[in-house]
Amino acid sequence: MTTHRAAFDPTRVAQLSGRFAPVTEEVDAVDLEVTGTLPDSLDGLYLRNGPNPRFTPIGSFLYPLDGDGMLHGVWMSEGRARYRNCFVRTPGVLAEEKAGHALWGGLESMVMPTADQVGPDLAGTFKDLPDINVVRHAGRLLALAESACPFRIGPGLETVGKETFDGALPAGITAHPKVDPVTGEMAVFHYDVEPPWLTWSLIDRTGRVTVGPTPVPGVDEPLMIHDMALTARYVVLVLAPAFFDLTAALHGGSLIDWRPESGTRIALVPRDGGPVRWAAGEAFWMWHTVNAYDDPAGPGAVLDYVQWPRLGLGGPPAPDGDRSAPGAQRGLARAVVDPVTGRIARTLLDDAKVEFPRVDERRIGRRHRRIAVAAVSGDADGLLPGEFDSVRWYDADRPDAPPAVWRGENLSLGEPSFAAEPGRDGEDEGYWLMFATDRADGGSSLLVIPAQDPASGPVARLRVPVRVPLGLHGVWLPTQE
Ligand SMILES: [Fe+2]
């Protein structure tokens, strides 16, 4: 296809400029300069992914989905650190490197290369976009894409190839799989623009797919679901009314049609294969879950998440103006999902502008106490959408208590990830790690914030020799698990 968005100008895309601007340099640096003291107990790799188009995009650019993946890794051991960044070298990136320029357009442009340009295998295909997240499971390190095949990554961050889980999940998986810390199982879902619209699967701790793609009944249109949650009983899927509209996208409109009148539904999919249970309510959008657990008071689930009034993703505004649903304020929220009454009881826990919520991953699927989020303090001028300048930590057991807050002053901060102190299981026994970029000089560093007293700020700042563009999701991968 050769449909072009005539008006596309990459220099006008906020998330291609300034602190979001992609980098092309791939760097390997040892003995990073440390300000403060890097704790000896941190032994492992902090790895973060994010959109970083290899060449200037053509056709369109839809943040945060478009863009090639770039991995930024910081290895820590014995109080010292080294850094490396690498592109995720998909066949599409390799073909573009051979051509010396972009061959695929962004998701909304539908520009795809011809066989003359890339050969018969890649001609007319969508580009792989493993630029969102990273997970390690059953010995596989994966760069994750939005509902597509992830790419296997080697120990030096080299790209090994597309991962189909021995052919059992050929259509791919979510960018936000959830690993049950008790059973070692990884739960995933996949949505598509053709039937079956939405499926879920389970991969056991050895990497074997034990439940292959299983359609979720009651879904008969293509819709976008970015994240999921897991409890001991259920795979939890939040179905907001964000429907794909490929026809509109082909004619210069938005890829996503937000239809608040359809409300938001939550599916509780029994992990043991029983009938899917549902609850529904007024429309809200959710990019990210915090965590979920089985409701101790009933057969449902408790889901903490970051709530948005609607999905806004590129494209022109909806013709009828702001189609936000009432009662769906932005902020950290809790939903109690009751499949008996079919209702979702939602509570806003904090109306601050927050995103990138994380917990100690050893609490996934079980009741958590500590929640960390990136936040907008309101004190900094000139932050772009998707840019944060503070971190907030909540105690879920004390929802009325104010969160601990650390403001990065001149720093723009990424998603916090928890690194547990080896041999300890407390949710505050360890460190919170995140990349930061100084808005004054553009320099980047990795921050190490003690979980016991996070409001006191970093105990160590590891200077990274290149700018790390503001990006998406990261993970701490301890050497010893
Ligand atoms: Fe995400």
- Tell me how far the alpha carbon of residue 115 lies from the centroid of ligand 1, in angstroms: 33
Among the ranges given (315-329, 406-420, 432-446, 458-472), the one the predictor scored with the smallest mean pLDDT: 315-329
HEC string for 240-276: CCEEECHHHHHCCCCCEEECHHHCEEEEEEECCCCCC
pLDDT at 243: 96
Is the backbone peptide bond immediately before 196 cis, with ω within 30 degrees of 0?
Answer: yes
The C-alpha atoms of residue 445 and residue 329 are separated, in whole angstroms, by 33
Structure tokens at 146: 């939005």
Structure tokens at 86: 């690498």
Considering only residues 446 and 12, tell me which one the structure prediction assigns the higher pLDDT: 446
- Tell me how far the alpha carbon of residue 35 lies from the centroid of ligand 1, in angstroms: 30
- Tell me how far the alpha carbon of residue 39 lies from the centroid of ligand 1, in angstroms: 29
pLDDT at 137: 98
- Tell me how far the alpha carbon of residue 176 lies from the centroid of ligand 1, in angstroms: 7
- Tell me how far the alpha carbon of residue 130 lies from the centroid of ligand 1, in angstroms: 12
Extents of the domains making up the chain: 10-478
- Tell me how far the alpha carbon of residue 417 lies from the centroid of ligand 1, in angstroms: 13
282 and 263 Cβ atoms separated by less than 8 Å: yes
Amino acid at 327: G
Q: What percent of the chain has pLDDT over 90?
A: 87
Is the backbone peptide bond immediately before 64 cis, with ω within 30 degrees of 0?
Answer: yes
CA dihedral 277, 280, 284, 288 (to 10 degrees): -10
Residue 390 — φ and ψ, nearest 5°? -155, 170
- Tell me how far the alpha carbon of residue 227 lies from the centroid of ligand 1, in angstroms: 7
37 and 459 Cβ atoms separated by less than 8 Å: yes
415 and 472 Cβ atoms separated by less than 8 Å: yes
- Tell me how far the alpha carbon of residue 146 lies from the centroid of ligand 1, in angstroms: 9
- Can you tell me the mean pLDDT for 202-214? 98
> Which residues define the annotated binding site?
176, 226, 288, 473
Q: Has residue 323 got a pLDDT over 60?
A: no
314 and 109 Cβ atoms separated by less than 8 Å: no
The C-alpha atoms of residue 477 and residue 140 are separated, in whole angstroms, by 12
* C-alpha count within 13 angstroms, C-beta hemisphere, residue 285: 23
CA distances from 340 to 174, 216, 278 (A): 28, 19, 9
Considering only residues 253 and 401, tell me which one the structure prediction assigns the higher pLDDT: 401
- Can you tell me the mean pLDDT for 264-275? 97
Structure tokens at 332: 């950290």
Which residue, among 412, 477, 416, 410, has the nearest Cα to 450 in the 3D structure? 416
- Tell me how far the alpha carbon of residue 280 lies from the centroid of ligand 1, in angstroms: 23
Structure tokens at 279: 């609850």
Q: Has residue 314 got a pLDDT over 70?
A: no
CA dihedral 101, 121, 72, 291 (to 10 degrees): 130
- Tell me how far the alpha carbon of residue 265 lies from the centroid of ligand 1, in angstroms: 19
Per the prediction, the chain carries an average pLDDT of 94
The C-alpha atoms of residue 109 and residue 376 are separated, in whole angstroms, by 32
Q: Has residue 79 got a pLDDT over 70?
A: yes
Which residue, among 414, 454, 451, 443, has the nearest Cα to 46 in the 3D structure? 414
| Cα angle: 369, vertex 375, 380; to 5 degrees | 150
Among the ranges given (15-19, 24-28, 325-329, 361-365), the one the predictor scored with the smallest mean pLDDT: 325-329
- Tell me how far the alpha carbon of residue 310 lies from the centroid of ligand 1, in angstroms: 16
Place of tokens 């357009």: 105
Q: What is the pLDDT of residues 146-198, one digit of tens each?
A: 999 999 999 999 999 999 999 999 999 999 999 999 999 999 999 999 999 99
> Which residues define the annotated binding site for Fe cation?
176, 226, 288, 473
Q: Has residue 317 got a pLDDT over 80?
A: no
Q: What percent of the chain has pLDDT over 70?
A: 96
Considering only residues 313 and 98, tell me which one the structure prediction assigns the higher pLDDT: 98
Sign of CA dihedral 392, 394, 400, 401: negative
HEC string for the chain: CCCCCCCCCHHHCHHHCHHHCCCCCCCEECCCCEEECCCCCCCEEEEECCECCCCCCECCCCCCCCCCEEEEEEEEECCEEEEEEEECCCHHHHHHHHHCCCCCECCCCCCCCCHHHHCCCCCCCCCCCCCCEEEEECCEEEEECCCECCEEECCCCCEEEECCCCCCCCCCECCCCEECCCCCCEEEEEECCCCCCEEEEEECCCCCEEEEEEECCCCCCCECCCCCEECCCEEEEEECCEEECHHHHHCCCCCEEECHHHCEEEEEEECCCCCCEEEEECCCEEEEEEEEEECCCCCCEEEEEEEECCCCCCCCCCCCCCCCCCCCCCEEEEEEEECCCCEEEEEEEECCCEEEEECCHHHCCCCCCEEEEEECCCCCCCCCCCCECEEEEEECCCCCCCCEEEECCCEEECCCEEEECCCCCCCCCEEEEEEEEECCCCCEEEEEEECCCHHHCCCEEEEECCCCCCCCCEEEEECCC
70 and 52 Cβ atoms separated by less than 8 Å: yes
Q: What is the DSSP pairing of strand 390-395 with strand 331-338?
A: unpaired
Partners of 371 in the beta sheet?
394
Which residue, among 150, 53, 29, has the nearest Cα to 105 in the 3D structure? 53
- Can you tell me the mean pLDDT for 75-92? 98
